[in-house]
Structure 1
Amino acid sequence: MNAQTTHRDAGAFDLLVLCASLQGEAAVLDVLRALPRDFALPIVVMQPLDPGSRALQAYGACRPRPVEWVTASSTLAPGRLLVCPPGSAVELRPDGRFVLAPDEEGAPERPLDRLLESVARGFGPLAIAVLLGGPDHDGANGARRLHQAGGRVLVQDPATTTQPDLPSAAIAAGATDQVLPLSDIGHVVGEIAAGRPRPESRPRPAGSTRSVGGLAAIASPAARSRLLEAMLGSIPDFVYAFDREHRFVYVNQAMQDLFGPQARLLGHTFTDLRYPAELARRLDAHLDAIFDTGRTIEDEVFFINPAGSGAYFDFVWGPVLAEDGSVELVVGVSRDTTQRRQLEQQLRENARRLRLALDVGELATWDWDLRTGQVLWSREHYRMQGYRVGEVEPGYEAWLARVHPQDREAAVAAVREARAQRRPYRHEFRILPPDGQLRWFSAKGHFYYDDQGEAVRMIGVMRDVTEQRHASELLAQRVAERTAALRQLLIHLESVQDEERRRIARELHDGLGQYLSSVALALSALRQSPDDVAARERLHRLQGLIQELDRELDRIVFILRPTALEDCGLGEGVSAYVQTWSELTGVSTDLELHGLDHGRLTPSVETATFRVVQEALNNVAKYASASRVSLSLERRRGLLVGSIEDDGVGFDATDATTPVAGRSNWGLLGMQERIEALGGTFAIDSQPGQGTTVLWRLPVASEKA
């Protein structure tokens, strides 16, 4: 027997499908244990198991044949139990073979629905499905498809599971034949599989859902009646028929589920069934009109069902004609529209809230179908661009026509790049409406793509940000003005500071220095006169201390204001300072000076440059642990270019000149502000272990010597 026919040998049904959640292993085991040991249908289990799950061993202990994972080569066979593998979307072909589509992200989209829909297409009334507990609605739509195709769908009673979402959704979708407690499901499945007449097994051609020979099975009137009954019984809508006395003469399974057994309905009128008097008169009038005229009637009514809950029903009633052309019966189909009405009301309410939010937020919206080119604009979208509603056909070109000519190229590029790179669209541009009042707009949107990756739709919102732009520009202007004022204040403070340094240096040099010189001369004279050797020795030591004090005074005066800088200019001042610094720190220093002998620079430039050199070398001495420093000053083409490079430990220069709480970098900020206050540029290049380079440029002008 070949693979295409083996699965048909089980009996009136071809297949049992068990659907469960990740935590549903115990429920599946309960169903499998309750099945007869000779249960012949192939069984497919679909649940999102972990890759390391031991479910196969547990399920195999319940069945006489080994259990196996579904693979691309698996086929249905009597008694075989196959478990769908983790992370795969599984579909079942009509010939009993499986199709696996592993998901790249490990989580296939709605795997229960996909499997059940394929079973509905390929097996229809030859399949039994069992829906156990689950945490979401996956499986409800597939079960409804199978139910509509004539398959049998059994659902676990939501009250018997801690995960009632899936069975509740299947019940709400009208997908169920029976709702059972978990303890009854296995026994009922066994009875269903054994209770139907066993059709003759026939080979099924690959790719077809039914053998052509199956047409013979519905050739007789009785077979067609059974087929019609099965079809009407599988419909979730309410189907019924009336005679001329307005009595029910037929009700389908859905009607029985709502009102109870047929005996409660058949042969009874609306009045007998205690319909509200006004509603009964209305429905009876419809029946009289159809029997009299033969026309079809549609209507909608509100009805309180026997369970005591009210619901809206729409219905279509039409005539069944006798051989003589008269109306013999009236048949009708009703559908519970309560949920649809609620959804419609919710959609209307959501639309109202959306319009209110858009109006309050002054937002314009658009919806662009890229396949047809059709664009929908909100009323606000027209208004913002200076159009009257309906004045132009909404579209990309109509929008672009209002964009300021200087902004169009960037606007087109922003849309193109967002589409190509699959990222959100964000852009600001100017609109030039007919009244000439230039406005700024901020737009945001998203592209949507089909399965082939082609952009098919773009939706977005647009907001007028003119006032925000003006406020931002005004703030930027105020910040620039305040920054300029602060820098002028800094220049003034630096000037005052330097002047104070010069005064202190003069006082120390001219006042204290003279006193020290006088004391030194007096000590020298005293050393020649005393005869006491010990006294002369003490005077000698005191003279040495006075000399050290004099040298320290000279150093302090030099730091405050080098006389070489004061008297000879920047080059001599820097040379003297670098030499003294190198002697004090022991760090070898290379100094290059170019173009500084062509006249003095302005005092502000000389002072700023000297203080940068002073601060940079001070940082090298304190932090760099350097063995060599290179310093260069060059005057060329109206610029003074300076650099100081060391081979020390370096540091992370990222945002080095940005104030951060808890980080001491005011020396670097001071250097930067000195240079930038004079219109120059300042930069620091440093990385841990690679030394540090300080670079600056200043515009300069000569001052007559």
Structure 2
Amino acid sequence: MTEPRAPNPDIEQQLRDVNEALIISSVRLHEQIEKAEKAEAALAIKQAELAESKMLLETALDAGTVATVTWDIVNDLMIAGPRMSKVLSIDRADAGMLHFADFISAVYPDDRQRVEEQIAQTLETGTPCDIEYRIKADDKDIQWVYVRGKVERDAAGKPLRFAAALIDVTERKKSDETKCFLASIIESSRDSIITVDFDTTITSWNPAAELLYGFSAEEAVGKSMKMLLLPKDLAEIFGNIDKIRLGESVEMFETVRIHKEGQRLDLEVVMSPVKDSSNQVVGVSTIVRDITERMESEEALRFSEQRFRVAVDAMDSLVWTNNSRGQMEGEQPGWEKFTGQTFDQYQGFGWSKAVHPEDVDKTIDAWNESVRRRETFVFEHRLRRHDGEWRVCAIRAVPVKAEDGEVKEWVGAHTDITDRKQAEEELRRSREELEIRVKERTVELEQANKKLKAENRRRLRVEKDRVAILRRLTTAQEDERRRIGRDLHDQIGQQITAMRFKLLELQTGDADSSIKEKIDQAQDYAKQMDVDVGYLSYELRPQGLDDLGLRSSVRDFVQYWSRYHSIPAEFHASKTERRQLDSETNIHVYRIVQESLNNVLKHAQAKSVVIILDFQDDNLILIIEDDGVGFDPTPNEKAAKRSGGLGLVGMRERCLLLGGTMSIESGVNEGTVILCRIPIPAK
């Protein structure tokens, strides 16, 4: 016997690999079989759907609502289906074979460009053609068609054929237009239009209903109409709905409904049936008109008529009526009450017996003329009152005309204006007397005005002379100050200087100590005298005013004055603008500063002083302010005037000479502010 062969590991491994590959292949084969079965099932479903769609298409084609067309783009031939003539009403022998131009020519002119652009876009991009447009073939009416088409291309992407289906949608378009038209009427109607079903559930609600009731469509639709009704009206509404459901008509009626906010609305209601396409009644339409204003107007008219009757009874005027011929007829209680005439006496033209004999003919002539011309009659005459007194009356009568313009009657009124006439006469006489008095008073005023003008001219001359004298006085004063200042400087100043030198010689001699002490005291006195004379000379004659200018001179003087009297003083001047001033302006402004500081020294007990010199527009502004004890400026100015001192009055007069003004603000323990405003014309 042969011994069994030992297993070969390689063969066994290969068998295992083959076995594993067979298993994987079997699984994959099974999966492919399942996919194939599913694909066959899906294909069967698609074939069934395709068969159903084909059946539906054939049904539609047989019904004559759909037509097909294929356009051979390369040869420009449009092969129309057999129902093209029926669908599009094209009455021509060669309807089955068309060119593209034939197809486009059938499109309504206003839609032609839009159709061409849609087809061009489909050919270019491949997107399906989906469009509605109008056509007009032969002498038929305009038709609406819906076209849905796709393009077929060759391997290179070039368009070969265009296949499309055309459906006649004319009836749908007309129906849509009718619906839109009716909907627009309902939406734009000023009347509330709502529809309800037979159990009063609201099914539609137009904007006018929203305005009338206050509920929006969202709040109303689906709710019961009962929310708009009074409880007492429910039975009537349900009865009307039953009538309409049974085909009966409901007459227009007036009722009251409830607003959202609770107020009542006076309404006029028309109820009519809502029918479906089979002419069956499916609901109720309610058209409601707000008659609140009309009701209010009618009530106002009734009230107005009543008030008119009361007013006629209460008024002073007597109201009467005449027929269309201008003759009084019927009862005239107002006329009878005023004139005392009886019914028989004033009928026809008997009323004229109550008119003053001098006025009767003119009255009748004017009245007949107004009646003939059918124009408003306005007149005045004298009428005898029931007590026999003649009263002046104003008459106004107007014709009451029918719609055709014919006069139906005349309504007139007599107003007693006797008192007014008398008042007018008195007023006329008073006016005449007043005019005479006005003329007399005018003469007196003219004479007074002449005297006043003469007095003004005299005062202007006096003022002019005063200013001239004042200018001469100040000029002379300045000249005298300069002379005195020069004398002080040249004579007394030199003598004091000489005396100081002599005292210095004695002080260095061999005198005993007691004499030297007295010489030292004399030397101090002489030194103080020299300073005082120098200060007085400086005050009297400012040396550098014309050369250095006002700004520098005032600054130097303020500093000198502050040092000399040991009172702190600040000076501020404009740095942005410097103007050359004439010598008169310089000296007067300088003296005003001097006088102000002297007043501060003598009266203010001030601890500090501020002086400001500035230019604003065409004015020089000078401000001197101290923190002293202050004063009441009005009595001080009067006292200054009485005393004749230069003080405040002198400062004000210097401002006056320069055409300026000076104001003073001060109060007890509040310091003092002096403001001078001097015009400096720009050069």
- The two structures have a TM-score, normalised by structure 2, of 0.35
Structure number with higher relative contact order (C-alpha < 8 Å, ≥ 6 residues apart): 1
- The two structures have a TM-score, normalised by structure 1, of 0.34
Give the structure with higher Rg (CA). Answer: 2
